[in-house]
Amino acid sequence: MNNHFITLGNLGLCVAASLNAQRLFKDHRAPAAGIFLVVCSAALSVLPATISLDWSSQPAALCADLQWAAEVLSPAMVSFGFLWLSDDHFTAYTLLTGSALLSMLTGWLSRDGLSVMSRCMAMSSLSCSLTVCLFAGNPLGILGSVLLSAPALVGLSGTSPLVSPEAAGGLLKLGLIGAMTVGCWAIRWALEIYVQDLKGWDKSNNILT
């Protein structure tokens, strides 16, 4: 029964992430790309339940890689968007470079090493988003960043030794899928609100000057 609920959860995540990635693409390319990774991961997670293929080798490995990318790289790309809007371009590029290097080094790291580096990347991304959103007074950004980073911090994809495969495949996984679904919506609204706030601040500064 859990597998059916997880499949439905991934399907809902795929739809929600698709809609939000499409809305973000015009003005926020990096966050849109990050959420599109969530779309790919969720869609590929649904396929085994709908298509009879041998998922024991190559497709399963691809699914695991995409799930890791959605968990770890998506929050980094979302944080890049917040940092870029706040004019902290140096930190934005540093975070993006770090996430790119981590994705290239995954094949060279042990399971424990990948777990540590993934959590460090997730914490860095989350701290950057939280810093910007706290100073901007953007509670939706805080909520979305926490929810989108939760799977990486918990270790949903199995890179963390703290979460057993049984726990990752049950109610915990379903809850984290739900968190990512809500997180995608919250991030999109947060970015739109932040842009409106920045426009309001610019108008106020122009009036004062």
Q: Residue 5 CA to chain centroid, in angstroms?
A: 21
Tell me the CB-side half-sphere exposure of residue 120, using CA atoms within 13 A: 10
How many domains, the chain? 1
Q: What burial class does residue 9 get, using C-beta atoms within 10 Å of its C-beta: 0-12 exposed, 13-18 middle, 19+ buried?
A: buried
Confidence (pLDDT) at 162? 47
The DSSP annotation for 166-178 comes to HHHTTHHHHHHHH
In tens digits, the chain (209 residues) has pLDDT values of 467 788 889 999 999 999 999 999 988 999 999 999 999 888 887 776 555 555 455 566 677 777 888 888 999 999 999 999 999 999 999 999 998 888 888 778 888 888 888 889 999 999 999 999 999 999 999 999 999 999 888 865 544 444 554 555 577 888 889 999 999 999 999 999 999 988 877 666 665 54
Residue 160's pLDDT is 46
> Which residue range(s) make up the domain with 40?
2-208
* CATH number for the domain harbouring residue 84: 1.20.1070
Q: What is the pTM of this model?
A: 0.85
